[in-house]
Each structure stands twice: as structure tokens, then as C-alpha cells.
Amino acid sequence: MVASVCKHEDRIRLIAELNRRIPFPSRKHHMPLHNVDIFEDLPSRLDKTVNPYVNLLVGGQHDSLPLCYGQSLKGKAGRWRETLCEKMGFPPEKLILEIGVHKGKVIINLALDYPQWGFLGMDITFKRVVLSAEKLTRAHTKNAMILLGNARHISKVFTPGELDGAIIFFPDPWVKKKSQMRNRLLNESFCRDLSSSLKQGAFFWLKTDSEDYFRLAETMVTGLGFKPSARLFPQPYESTFEARFRSFMLPTFEEFWTKC
């Protein structure tokens, strides 16, 4: 499904203008965890003077911010409903995972709109994890948590059929160089692991600005038995990235699949 269209040359021009007007934050504050064991307690070993979010991450876990990382992730697979029940006071009716929380906009709105459901947001950068957890706290949500870790390790964090749904909005398409495409999250191995973690009847909601990435993901997902279906949510839950693309009239692509 294409949200908007424009000529290819206009798209290239507008993306360049988008990057110029809205620069992304410094990489030193993001420090993504690409090749780190998800159970490794990396923040405790890093120089806390380099990235202020390292201290906030370590302190936040001790100060009861809704976040989880490293060793505290161990033993959680198969017990996420129990973990959220301790916060909510009752077991969540559904368990939904958002991969790539960015600034927390989507997961916060979902958690507020569906207080009877449980939401987990996973990201690989310290800044996004800390800021999203702080926003969840300010919003007084009890049904959501943020996890620090690379989603490639999803099979270590969730048991088969544990999730009722997964959301991935605007994953990095890695299109600057052809060789970078191997860094894409959505590949055959990851899609198999994601499918395994989703129960029958669960959904997978994807949005991206890359048509090539979308078509490849579509092929992999449908090959695993997922079928396009009507979106479960009446609201589009527009992310920060989607708002930016729309403001420049750039095309976006999305689909809502159900595991059959």
C-alpha cells in the first residue's frame, strides 16, 4: 500500500533537503549495539563521560524507569506477561512488540489507547531507550516497557508464540551503498525468528519509505504464511519519521499482515 507518490528525481531531491533541514542527532549519543550479545551488560563497561545516556540508562534501571537491558533480560522469555502484570495489576490481554521506538511516540500512544494490552519497545541506541522510558513514565503508563538490544536476538528474548503482534516502522533501509544492504534488519533469518515469536492470528505491521525494502519484506513475510488483512487499529499511529516524509510528500509503503 503506497501512502503517497512522487517522481524518482523529486524523491532524491527531497530526501537531500530533508536531511539538510532536519539533521539526525550525533552518533556518539546513539551508540548502536549492532554486534553485541543482548545479555551483555555493556553500559557498565563504557566510558560514561563520552555519552551522557549511559549514566541515565544505568541509573534509570535502578530508579524504576520502565526499561530493561543486559543481564536483566535473562529469564524474561516466556514471562513478559507476568512481568507486565506486576506493573499493571492484571495480565495484559495482548502482548505487542515495537521494534525501533525512535522517540517513543508510537508506543506511548498505543499504551495510552490500549491500557488493557502490554507493549514492549526494543531499540539499539542508549538515547532512544532512555528518552522513551522517561516519556512513558511522564505519561503515567503502566503497561509498557523499553528494552535495549538488537532485535536480531529476538529468539533469545521471546518464546515461540509469545507475541500477539509486532510493529516495525521505518527501519533503516541502508540504501547509500549496495554493500550496506546486508545490515538490513529484515532478512530471511530475522523474519523466520519474528514469525516464530508470533502466535497464530498475530499481526505484523510494517511501514517504510523504501519500496525495494518493502517488496523484499513482503516476499519474505508472505512466504512464511502471512496474509494481508484489515488493519486492527483505527488510528494510523504516525511516527516522527512518517510525519517528516509526509511533510515533504515523499512516498511511504505499509502493510498489515496476519499470521495464518
Catalytic residues: 172
CB 240 within 8 A of CB 105: yes
φ, ψ of residue 169 in degrees (nearest 5):
-110, 120
- Cell readout for 137 is 513514565
Please say whether the beta carbons of 74 and 136 come within 8 A. no
Please, what's the b/e burial string for 117-153 (b: 16 or more CB within 10 A of its CB; e: otherwise)? bbbbbbbbbbbbbbbbbbbbbeeebbbbbbbbbbbbb
CA–CA separation, 225 and 186 (whole Å): 16
Following DSSP, what letter does each residue of 218-235 receive, concatenated?
A: HHHHHHTTEEE---S-SS
Contact 80, 108 (CB under 8 A): no
Q: Where are the beta strands (DSSP E) in the chain?
A: 67-69, 95-99, 118-123, 144-148, 163-169, 198-208, 226-228, 253-259
Burial 31-45 (b: 16+ CB within 10 A, else e): bebeeeebbeebbee
End-to-end CA gap in the chain: 20
* AA letter at 117: W
